[in-house]
């Protein structure tokens, strides 16, 4: 009897030990979106969201170590906190991974999963060595359930190895101007030389979403793929997708080094933004921080055609000041001025400052001929509450030549004729 009790106790102890080791494995081996916080929940709590009675961005009380709200129309930062700091980004890395695969590979191609891919730890699609799956289904596994195994499989079939695929990632980063980003893997497991910034991650996401297939994948809540000819159901780890008005993507992330991360694309009406939160302590914090930033943006900002406002102000300025521009040694004093077209004429502005915009127009009053079409002769700066909103140049629309000898001879005889005429009239 005593022997049976000891045997039973040993089995129970062994079971608990196995469970403990499994949990430890998930915690220590990068469990992207594997829940490790006892009090973490994904329910969206509106009580901590900024409302019209709390419009000050300083009152957002964010947990994220770094974050940014990036406007997709103007390519401007609406809100930022340490947005240019280099940080780990966990599985938001897979935004770059998917982008490269989509641009280089035939999505209908079926591949065989390698042992290396199948043995990749952390969050997984559940691949085994020798599995057959299409590249498109791997992409769904990559972006919906954040499969690290899918990431390695995609890297190998695209570039031959993880290392060679990382070269492609860094080449793409340079192409996109992401000078503070560096990639060492397709999945984002912690590495000292694997990093980005909230701002550059937003820029990358903006680029990636221009690909229709990418946008379709990250905007999908549930999807059925085919693995070895059998259906497999996937669910998106993005807790805001389908739960917050206007959200249409894009990617979650978690590692011990990066903490909780979330990149969200959201569009309401004409306003289209990307919100990035990095380094949150819990999943709940990343959810609430993302909601706070999104609601704050849509509550307090609206698009303004700043180019139209500048043109209107400049036309008024020209009607009052054009006659005071003097052109030395010119054959024609009739100068035509305009402003350079803005790269982003429509920008988001805080509603409270839209009616409090100042325009500073500086144009040279004394010019020397010749003047070529397109020459810059001034600039216009736009401010609100002493904050520079945008700048543009004032340019010349017409060519103004310098006087030559014939012009001077003509003026000489013209003046001489006027003198004689005046003398005769006097007599």
Instruction: Enumerate the active-site residues.
Output: 91, 94, 146
CB atoms within 10 A of CB 376: 11
What is d(CA 186, CA 184) in angstroms, rounded to the nearest whole number?
Answer: 7
What is d(CA 175, CA 173) in angstroms, rounded to the nearest whole number?
Answer: 5
Beta-bridge partner residues of 75: none
Strand-pair category, 366-368 with 326-328:
parallel
First and final CA of the chain: distance in angstroms? 148
Query: Angle between the 135-143 and 94-104 helix axes, to the nearest 10 degrees?
Result: 160
What is d(CA 283, CA 260) in angstroms, rounded to the nearest whole number?
Answer: 6
What is d(CA 281, CA 276) in angstroms, rounded to the nearest whole number?
Answer: 15
Give whole-number Cα distances, 176 to 73, 79, 102, 172, 315, in Å.
Answer: 17, 21, 16, 6, 37
For CA atoms 150, 155, 161, 162, give the dihedral sign: negative
3 state DSSP class of 140: helix
Q: Give the single-character DSSP code of 340.
A: P
């Amino acid at each position: 009897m005593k022997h049976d009790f000891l045997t039973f106790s040993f089995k129970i102890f062994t079971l608990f030990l196995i469970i403990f080791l499994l949990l430890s494995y998930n915690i220590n081996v990068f469990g992207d979106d594997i829940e490790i916080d006892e009090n973490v929940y994904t329910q969206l709590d509106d009580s901590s969201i900024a409302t019209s009675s709390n419009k000050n961005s300083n009152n957002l009380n964010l947990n994220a170590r770094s974050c940014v709200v990036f406007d997709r129309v103007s390519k401007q930062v609406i809100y930022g906190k340490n947005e240019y700091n280099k940080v780990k980004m966990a599985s938001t890395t897979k935004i770059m991974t998917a982008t490269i695969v989509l641009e280089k590979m035939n999505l209908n191609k079926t591949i065989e999963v390698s042992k290396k891919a199948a043995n990749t730890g952390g969050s997984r699609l559940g691949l085994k060595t020798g599995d057959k799956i299409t590249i498109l289904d791997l992409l769904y596994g990559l972006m919906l359930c954040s499969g690290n195994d899918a990431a390695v499989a995609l890297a190998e079939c695209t570039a031959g190895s993880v290392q060679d695929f990382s070269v492609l990632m860094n080449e793409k980063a340079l192409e996109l101007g992401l000078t503070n980003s560096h990639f060492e893997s397709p999945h984002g497991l912690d590495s000292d030389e694997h990093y980005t910034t909230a701002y550059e991650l937003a820029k990358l996401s903006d680029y990636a979403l221009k690909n229709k297939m990418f946008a379709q994948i990250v905007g999908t809540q549930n999807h059925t793929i085919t693995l070895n000819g059998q259906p497999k159901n996937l669910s998106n780890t993005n807790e805001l997708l389908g739960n917050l008005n206007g959200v249409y993507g894009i990617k979650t992330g978690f590692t011990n080094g990066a903490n909780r991360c979330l990149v969200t694309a959201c569009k309401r009406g004409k306003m289209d933004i990307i919100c990035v939160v990095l380094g949150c302590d819990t999943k709940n914090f990343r959810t609430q921080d993302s909601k706070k930033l999104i609601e704050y943006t849509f509550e307090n900002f609206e698009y303004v055609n700043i180019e139209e406002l500048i043109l209107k102000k400049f036309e008024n300025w020209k009607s009052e000041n054009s006659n005071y521009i003097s052109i030395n040694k010119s054959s024609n004093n009739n100068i035509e001025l305009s402003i350079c077209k803005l790269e982003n004429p429509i920008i988001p502005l805080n509603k409270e400052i839209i009616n409090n915009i100042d325009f500073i127009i500086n144009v040279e009053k004394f010019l020397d001929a010749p003047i070529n079409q397109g020459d810059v002769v001034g600039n216009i700066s736009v401010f609100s509450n002493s904050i520079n909103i945008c700048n543009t140049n004032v340019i010349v629309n017409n060519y103004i030549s310098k006087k030559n000898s014939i012009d001077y001879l003509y003026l000489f005889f013209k003046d001489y004729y006027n003198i004689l005429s005046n003398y005769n009239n006097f007599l």
